[in-house]
Amino acid sequence: MALGLPNVTIMSHLHYSPDAPLARRGAGRLHKGSRLHKGPRLAVAAIAASSALLLGACSSDSDSGSGDSGSEESTASVDEQLMADAVATYAEGVHASYEASLASARSMDAAVDAFVADPTEENLEAAKQAWLTARDDYGPTEAFRFYGGPIDDEETGTEGLINAWPLDEAYIDYVEGDATSGIVNDPEGYPTIDAAVLVEANEAGGETNISTGWHAIEFLLWGQDLSTDGPGQRPVEDYTTAENADRRAAYLTTASDLLIEHLSELVDAWAPDVEDNYRAEFEALPPEEAMTMIITGVGELSRGELAGERMNVAYSERSQEDEHSCFSDNTTADIVANAKGIQMVLDATYPGVSDGTSVIDVVASVDPDLAEALGSEVAASVAAVEAIPAPFDAHLVDGVSDDDPGRASVLAGIEALEAQTDTIVAAADAIGVTVNVT
């Protein structure tokens, strides 16, 4: 355990299938992650192994039954209706957030179609800008992961088709030094480029063989990023006079259409007033169980995924390939959006949701000082990552001192996210909820 925090374990989870009832699962939930998208895996084990900076705040599966640290004696009673209200607000907010993401993704899809129909420099820039706008709306939704919900269910989750990374560019299209690489330039191996082909190709033969999602679209718009002071510079001729321009255009539009399809599935899974979707089962859970999942999501994103996989790995390895949106140089914005997603869940500031009960409201009902500390730390972490200068890869270059202001700001962001995770876990314990985060 880290910093004297209570021993914590996940109590139970939901298993989502769009065609079958939900079934509760026990401790040690397997789910898919975004980085390297290794398929079904224990998130705790994979993330902890990848980053020595991370501090465990959980017991293993083998001792999960002995994780009781006496919380019943030390935790004040929480009003069950208040917690149920917070769960209902969360469900409403998840749906609203995915709707916002889908709306801007549809705008991006329209811009992509307009570019392919008339491939000019102006239309290429418009498609890029639409991608950046849509990406800002998607980023906060990553706080809804890490508990086996619709996005990362071990069997049916679409996270690996939406946001998997790092991505091997040569799997999709040409790269520096290899003008004939990739699916685009392999008409013999891939005579047709359509949705079924791209879904089947995703991760086929290797973890970084990513063929769909945000980053495939990003690469097809920007191309490789070969500099440290700007994004990729794919020429518009790739879609006009270059070899396989028609196949490249088909790939781009198909990948964009698939993203719309997969985001639509998430909107449907969380839609209100649907008798047999995920949201209906989620809201029918005991409030403590649903709250366990909510806090697990933000806690795991905070330290294991964001501070660890997305920031510390790139920071420690000084690796441009390990930054999240390397082709567009959008990594700093990605980080900010993820951090704001954590804040959004904890204080219930969802898009289009004017009022409701927040997680912090529930914590404040038993420990106002802890609730205030949590709110302050989360605001501080958002401010810390907002202070990281773009582009992110400028802080990864060999020879840049750790004392350099930009590089120091990355470390400050990592440390702020790690610190708030300890408080997230403490807040969960205060309301009688047990969580498992790295």
Under DSSP, the state recorded for 14 is E
Backbone angle region of 73, left / alpha / beta, with phi > 0 → left and psi within -120 to 50 → alpha: alpha
pTM of the predicted model as reported, rounded to 2 decimal places = 0.84
- pLDDT by residue, tens only, the chain of 438 residues: 233 333 333 333 333 343 433 322 222 222 233 443 333 323 333 333 333 333 333 333 333 333 333 334 445 689 999 999 999 999 999 999 999 999 999 999 999 999 999 999 999 999 999 999 999 999 999 999 999 999 999 999 999 999 999 999 999 999 999 999 999 999 999 999 999 999 999 999 999 999 999 999 999 999 999 987 899 999 999 999 999 999 999 999 999 999 999 999 999 999 999 999 999 999 999 999 999 999 999 999 999 999 999 999 999 999 988 888 999 999 999 999 999 999 999 999 999 998 899 999 999 999 999 999 999 999 999 999 999 999 999 999 999 999 999 999 999 999 999 999 999 999 999 999 999 898
Side-chain half-sphere exposure of 200, counting CA atoms within 13 A: 8
Please report how the helices 331-347 and 287-300 are oriented relative to each other, as an axis angle in degrees rounded to 10.
Answer: 160
Under DSSP, the state recorded for 182 is S
pLDDT at 422: 97
H/E stretch holding 220: helix 214-222
What is the fold, at CATH topology level, of the domain defined by 96-142+163-269?
A middle domain of Talin 1 (1.20.1420)
Would you call 402 helix, strand, or coil by DSSP?
A: coil
pLDDT at 5: 30
Domain boundaries, the chain: 13-89+288-430, 96-142+163-269
Q: How many CB atoms lie within 10 A of CB 207?
A: 15
Nearest to 271 by CA among 263, 262, 280: 280
Secondary structure (DSSP) of 161-223: HHS-BS--GGGTS-BTTBTT-SGGG-TTT-S---HHHHHHHTTTTSTT---SSHHHHHHHHH-
pLDDT at 421: 98
- Six token digits for residue 142: 């990553």
Q: Which amino acid is at 124?
A: L
- Core vs surface per residue 278-304: b (16+ CB within 10 A) or e: bbbbbbebebbbbbbbbbbbbbbbbbb
Under DSSP, the state recorded for 401 is -
Q: Between vectors from CA 148 to CA 145 and to CA 150, what angle results, nearest 5°? A: 75
pLDDT at 229: 84
Longest dimension (CA), the chain: 72
Secondary structure (DSSP) of 304-345: IIIIIIIIIHHHHHT-GGGSTTTTTT-HHHHHHHHHHHHHHH
Please report how the helices 121-138 and 331-347 are oriented relative to each other, as an axis angle in degrees rounded to 10.
Answer: 30
